[in-house]
């Protein structure tokens, strides 16, 4: 049997800030490398979501008190976007995108 993990506000904040920062830097690099307007949309949306994770990590304690539903909706929107990323990865046979998105979905499911 798997041990039950206990997520605290502090550990969630650390996770959100870390993933938000790393993901934002990665997506920003993809945006800057994209030359075509349609191709730049995917990393641009990812950048917006990662910046949202960063913001959420910084303000998590206050947001859980005042607008818990907003936090839930943001995680739900992130899961939908990651599902779309999996489909994009499958269409282009991009293993890195598929694995990263599936790992992200598993983490969101856990949270």
pLDDT tens for the chain, 111 residues long, are: 556 666 788 888 888 888 888 888 888 888 888 777 666 788 888 889 889 989 998 998 888 889 888 888 988 998 898 888 888 888 887 777 788 888 888 877 877
Residue 1 located in a structural domain: no
- Residue 98 CA to residue 70 CA, distance in Å, equals 27
Stated pTM of the model = 0.78
**What dihedral do alpha carbons 43, 48, 52, 53 form, nearest 10°?**
0
Residue 14 located in a structural domain: yes
Domain count along the chain = 1
For residue 55, the model assigns a pLDDT of 92
Residue 32 located in a structural domain: yes
Residue 47 located in a structural domain: yes
Residue 28 located in a structural domain: yes
Residue 85 located in a structural domain: yes
- Residue 24 CA to residue 46 CA, distance in Å, equals 8
Residue 4 located in a structural domain: no
Residue 3 located in a structural domain: no
Parent domain of 96: 9-110
């Amino acid at each position: 049997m798997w041990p039950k993990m206990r997520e605290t506000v502090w550990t969630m904040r650390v996770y959100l800030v870390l993933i938000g920062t790393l993901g934002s830097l990665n997506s920003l690099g993809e945006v800057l490398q994209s030359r075509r307007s349609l191709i730049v949309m995917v990393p641009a949306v990812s950048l917006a979501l990662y910046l949202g994770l960063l913001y959420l990590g910084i303000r998590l304690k206050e947001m859980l008190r005042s607008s818990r539903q907003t936090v839930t909706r943001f995680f739900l929107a992130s899961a939908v976007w990651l599902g779309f990323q999996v489909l994009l990865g499958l269409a282009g046979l991009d293993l890195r995108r598929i694995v990263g998105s599936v790992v992200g979905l598993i983490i969101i499911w856990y949270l």
